[in-house]
Structure 1
Amino acid sequence: MLRLEWADVDMRRKEFTLRETKNGEVRLVPMTPTVYQVFTELWKERRLDTQRVFLYNGAEVKRIGTAFNAACRRAGITNLKIHDFRHTASTNLRRAGVDTATATKIVGHKSDRMHRRYNTITPDDLHAAAKKLHNHKTNTLITPEGVAAGAETISARNFIASGRSSVVES
């Protein structure tokens, strides 16, 4: 991100083109509305004598570690690394309901396995899943083959063969 240039910031499409990525592949990353607002202000104040987006005292920023560590210290935050934001992005995309393939593409992981590694599942996530299940409007009841449970049930084998997505409404 430190090497980001204005030519790679598409304000009309609200996306970044990252050309110098860790894995060497060009990646498009969409802006959230908040990021778009920040970049709208940065765009108004950009310097015309350089293409770089991130500057400090008119010069391109080469390293962020010292400033990041100082900001964390002033905020009273300990044990936070810049790379932790990648974990946060993966986890927040999942929590927002973004499918794995799309989240993997946005974060820049090469595989679902790497995306899963970066996802953090907390007890709150488990409770949220239980609440979603409870609030789900349709339940499917699948019974073992040969169990007579009424006209609105179906055996697992017949359910799979039928291609239906729900059988019993509750």
Structure 2
Amino acid sequence: MPRKKVIRKERGVFEKVPGSEIWWIRYYVDGREHREKVGRQSDAVDLYRIRRADALRGAKMPANMKNKGVKFEEIGKHALEWYIEHGRKDVKNFRIRMNIILKDFGHRVAEEIKPSEIDAWLKKYDWSPATKNCYKNVFGKTFKIAFADGKVSGNPARLVEQRPEKNARLRFLSAEEEAKIREAIDLRCPRHMPELDIALNTGMRKSEQYSLEWGQVSFRRKRILLDETKNGSSREIPMNKTCVKAFEELHADRPHEGRIFQSKYGRDLNDSRAWFDRVVEDAKVSNFTWHALRHTFISRLVMAGVDLRTAQELAGHKTISMTVRYAHLAPEHNQAAIEKLDPKIR
């Protein structure tokens, strides 16, 4: 069993009610005692060290935290500024979710927001578990940044239970559905066919594909370089013949600088929404989104006998656990593995 993390005792950190697991800090400035309610012991230790260091260097200490009155709107806007300054790729989604949260919590004093209130707020929306977890993470990151700046004394979002996400069903495209979608593209917008081919043969995320520029595509090496992925790291994607042909068609038609994928008016496309949703509707393919093309890419790799470790690398999954979700598509691999235990016939 893993050892339980032991937190070193600090002189000014204490439980006001023993066993309550609600920790306080006590420190002195100019002979005057200050007390602050924090929450978790580790958070209390961190805040105590910050307060003690501030006192030693003569920094102005905060007033009674209960009366400080920092609104959630203030720390929310500060968190958004932090995301922009640090160049976070998910800043657009963070801003959208933050604006929704601020409608209900912006006027509230941040210190007075309880974990139960965040949990109740998430419950009232008919969102998927994954979406609720995303909003919980916005709360958590906002309080974490504010805590580091000494604006709050704890992070209530850390005590909100993570919703279990059910990823049992992976939607991928059948050969018949693909034929219908291709037919619909031919009729409505044939110039977008290369985009479909590239998606099905690289498995790139939508944001990765639609931010591509020609400098990232090497026809000589048959490689696509993604400078920064969802995981924050760069990776190379090999191109097969179908993918190379699709890019060659695009380059012959649009050998311009900047984004590869453009509309018929020559404007950069940020995603496929303008045409793909209509095509899927025309093809009468139900419950299918652009992201399912990525599932199709990985599913077809596994069904073609590609091992999971290679599939993980090609998909750009950070952990193998993400790729293992597709393992059921290749049951013959399990059969072949177990048969290796049979004694060899001499």
| TM-score normalised by the chain length of structure 2 | 0.36
Aligned to 2:229: 21
How far is 1:54 from its partner? 0.4
More helix by share: 2
Deviating beyond 4 angstroms after TM superposition, the runs of 4 or more aligned structure 1 residues are none
Whose relative contact order is higher, 1 or 2, with alpha carbons under 8 Å and at least 6 apart? 1
- How many residues in Structure 1 have an aligned counterpart in Structure 2? 134
- Identity percentage of aligned residues: 32
Aligned to 1:162: none
After TM superposition, list the pairs within 5 Å mapping 1:121-136 onto structure 2: 121-122=328-329, 125-126=330-331, 129=332
After TM superposition, list the pairs within 5 Å mapping 1:1-170 onto structure 2: 1-48=209-256, 50-56=257-263, 57-117=265-325, 119=326, 121-122=328-329, 125-126=330-331, 129=332, 141-142=342-343, 167-168=344-345
- 5+ residue gaps, structure 2, are 1-208
- Determine the C-alpha separation between the residues in 2 that align with 1:139 and 1:35: 37
Task: Kindly provide the CA deviation profile for residues 76-121 of structure 1, in whole angstroms up to 9, marking residues without a partner as x.
Answer: 111101121222222111122222222111101011111112x163
Task: Kindly provide the CA deviation profile for residues 114-147 of structure 1, in whole angstroms up to 9, marking residues without a partner as x.
Answer: 1112x1635xx54xx29x86xxxx97643xxxxx
Cα distance change, pair 33–121 in 1 and its aligned pair in 2 (3 A): same
- Determine the C-alpha separation between the residues in 1 that align with 2:303 and 2:321: 17
- Determine the C-alpha separation between the residues in 2 that align with 1:95 and 1:12: 29
1:60 counterpart SS class? coil
2:328 counterpart SS class? coil
Contact 1:139 1:168 in 2 (8 A): no
- Determine the C-alpha separation between the residues in 1 that align with 2:226 and 2:340: 44
- Determine the C-alpha separation between the residues in 1 that align with 2:281 and 2:342: 54
- Determine the C-alpha separation between the residues in 2 that align with 1:112 and 1:101: 7
Larger radius of gyration: 2
Aligned residue type for 2:345: V
Question: Cα RMSD between the aligned structures?
Answer: 2.3
Cα distance change, pair 37–4 in 1 and its aligned pair in 2 (3 A): same
1:70 counterpart SS class? helix
- Determine the C-alpha separation between the residues in 2 that align with 1:10 and 1:47: 14
2:259 counterpart SS class? coil
| TM-score normalised by the chain length of structure 1 | 0.69
- Determine the C-alpha separation between the residues in 1 that align with 2:323 and 2:342: 32
1:59 counterpart SS class? coil
- Determine the C-alpha separation between the residues in 1 that align with 2:234 and 2:245: 24
- Determine the C-alpha separation between the residues in 2 that align with 1:42 and 1:62: 16
Contact 2:225 2:234 in 1 (8 A): yes
Aligned to 2:79: none
- Determine the C-alpha separation between the residues in 2 that align with 1:103 and 1:75: 29
- Determine the C-alpha separation between the residues in 2 that align with 1:115 and 1:47: 36
- Determine the C-alpha separation between the residues in 2 that align with 1:140 and 1:114: 28
Contact 2:302 2:327 in 1 (8 A): no
Aligned residue type for 2:278: A
Cα distance change, pair 139–114 in 1 and its aligned pair in 2 (3 A): closer
- Determine the C-alpha separation between the residues in 1 that align with 2:327 and 2:308: 14
